[in-house]
């Protein structure tokens, strides 16, 4: 199987140039973002979406055709003392991802790549496999790849 990893943001500097507020209380654009997501033309839906961590797992735990590396994608979450107990399954984490100024362009790039390559399995990778990769997977399934099944390899809950 041919495996391709696509880095969505290449380094911390690439992402650090943005000044934005995020989180469900601070971002009032969620409804607009959700509407834009629903306009995405999805002609192919992968069977499975995998998530895992590149700093925890020493090898890629699954066979995939295309994976999206979100290791350098940094949504901003302010005043969240319980962030350690949250995961990308939590709405506040997903909202912070969707409020990132580059979210829509990256989501469009993901849909385009999936439509072009028609993979059966895709993946999302981040550093620890708890917030970003999981959040991206759940967002994409909720709004775009509605019949995909998610497997979280690093997240243990």
Higher pLDDT, 83 or 67: 67
Inform me whether the pLDDT recorded for 3 exceeds 50.
yes
Sheet holding 66-69, edge to edge: 4-7, 66-69, 121-126, 48-53, 149-152
Q: Per the domain annotation, does 95 fall within a domain?
A: yes
Residues 5-9, mean pLDDT to the nearest whole number: 78
pTM of the model: 0.84
Q: Per the domain annotation, does 157 fall within a domain?
A: no
Number of domains, the chain:
1
Measured CA to CA, the distance from residue 81 to residue 45 in angstroms comes to 36
Residues 74-98, mean pLDDT to the nearest whole number: 81
Which residue from 144, 132, 141 is spatially nearest to 52, judged by alpha carbons?
132
pLDDT at 84: 76
Domain housing 40: 4-78+91-152
Give per-residue pLDDT as tens, 40-58.
Answer: 899 999 999 999 887 766 5
């Amino acid at each position: 199987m041919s495996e391709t990893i696509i880095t969505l943001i290449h380094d911390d500097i690439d992402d650090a140039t943005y000044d934005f507020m995020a989180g469900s209380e601070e971002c009032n654009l969620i409804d607009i973002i959700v509407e834009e997501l629903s306009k995405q033309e999805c002609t192919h839906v992968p069977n499975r979406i995998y998530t895992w961590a590149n700093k925890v797992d020493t090898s890629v735990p699954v066979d995939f055709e295309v994976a999206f590396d979100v290791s350098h994608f940094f949504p901003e979450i302010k005043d969240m003392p319980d962030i350690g107990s949250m995961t990308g399954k939590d709405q506040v984490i997903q909202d912070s991802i969707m409020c990132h100024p580059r979210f829509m362009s990256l989501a469009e790039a993901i849909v385009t790549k999936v439509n072009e390559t028609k993979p059966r399995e895709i993946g999302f990778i981040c550093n620890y496999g708890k917030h970003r990769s999981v959040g991206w997977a759940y967002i994409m399934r909720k709004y775009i790849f509605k019949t995909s099944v998610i497997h979280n390899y690093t997240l243990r809950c």
